[in-house]
Amino acid sequence: MDKLAILIPAYNESQTIVKVVNDVLKVTENIPGSVVYVYDNNSKDNTAELAASAGAVVRHEYAQGKGAVIRRMFREIDAEAYIMIDADDTYPVQAIPDMYRKVVDKKVDMVVGDRLSSTYFEENTRPFHNTGNTLVRGLINTLFKTNIKDILTGYRAFSYQFVKTFPVLSRGFEIETEMSIHATEFKMLVENQVIEYRDRPEGSESKLDTYGDGLRVLKTVVNLYRIYHPFAFFGISAGIVSLISLLLFAFRVFVPYYHTGRVDNMPTLVVTMILFSVAVTAFFAGAILNAIQSSNKRNFELNLINANEKIKKYSNE
């Protein structure tokens, strides 16, 4: 079991990978048992060869997408602490020792490298990325009642318990959103660490599709809200459908009946009855799913106990 595993997902990063690996090796030389892993995700350049020559342990993930890479990393590597950093040289490696100590000494489950509280908005040259980061942060902190300062950052530290109990469902860049919500929902200890951010060097291209990945992130937020808060999600849906049903009934059925004594809009009456039935079904579906989610959270606590016992076993060996 490694003391510290540095995880670097990489796709066509030949311009920066050597510098990132060298900088990480230098800053972790005083942390015995630290290993730098570069997971190459079907790069079309010589990223893997350059990373290996710089001293990293290079492995490959052939399913495309950052989520697929992280799934492979988390399954294959056992360590007391993990730090994930991008291969594009936009994050300062000098923060690694502090992030590591928070995981090991303070038992923090996830340390979030917070770009947005420092230089991100000045350094980032893509204005829609700035808007997207702000929107997603506000949406998640409101819906999930948390205070994570940077939801989409790729610079994070994790405990063994987080890595081995985190179900990776996403395939792409929405994985960071999934991590943030997972940690919040299962009451894991999360801390923000302000870091300096610098934009990619000239000639290095971002793999993020501003609009496509942005929509996938928003879809992930809504889907996870449905999963983790089913009663609220389906309750809101039931309330909206019920309101539509009542308005239709009042203005298209009841008011004409009050004046004429006849039900002139029979099709509308049938529609309102169907909508009200849908609302009742949604309400009870939310109640049932909420009970299942509560049970899942109790089972998660048992999984944490098993993870703690496993790490103690590794430590004794």
Contact (CB, 8 A) for 17 and 47: yes
Contact (CB, 8 A) for 119 and 155: no
148-189: per-residue pLDDT in tens? 888 888 899 999 989 988 888 877 778 888 899 998 888 899
Kindly state the average pLDDT of the residues 56-71: 92
Token couple for 34? 């630290």
Q: Which pLDDT belongs to residue 223?
A: 85
Q: Which pLDDT belongs to residue 104?
A: 93
Ramachandran area for residue 261 (φ above 0: left; ψ -120 to 50: alpha; else beta) = left
Q: Say which residue, 316 or 264, is predicted with more confidence.
A: 264
180-237: per-residue pLDDT in tens? 999 888 889 999 999 887 776 665 566 566 667 678 888 888 888 888 889 999 999 9
Q: Which pLDDT belongs to residue 261?
A: 81
Residue 73's pLDDT band (boundaries 50, 70, 90)?
very high
Q: Which pLDDT belongs to residue 165?
A: 86
123-132, 137-146, 192-201, 290-299: range with lowest mean pLDDT: 123-132
Using the structure block, give the residue that is written with the tokens 């959103």.
Answer: 177
Give the residue ranges of DSSP H helices in 59-188: 66-76, 96-105, 120-123, 127-143, 160-165, 175-185
Token couple for 221? 């937020």
Q: What is the mean pLDDT of the chain?
A: 86
Residue 280's pLDDT band (boundaries 50, 70, 90)?
very high
Ramachandran area for residue 247 (φ above 0: left; ψ -120 to 50: alpha; else beta) = alpha
CA distance 154 to 113: 8
Q: Which pLDDT belongs to residue 52?
A: 95
Q: Which pLDDT belongs to residue 171?
A: 76
Burial, 160: exposed, middle or buried (Cβ in 10 Å; 0-12, 13-18, 19+)? buried
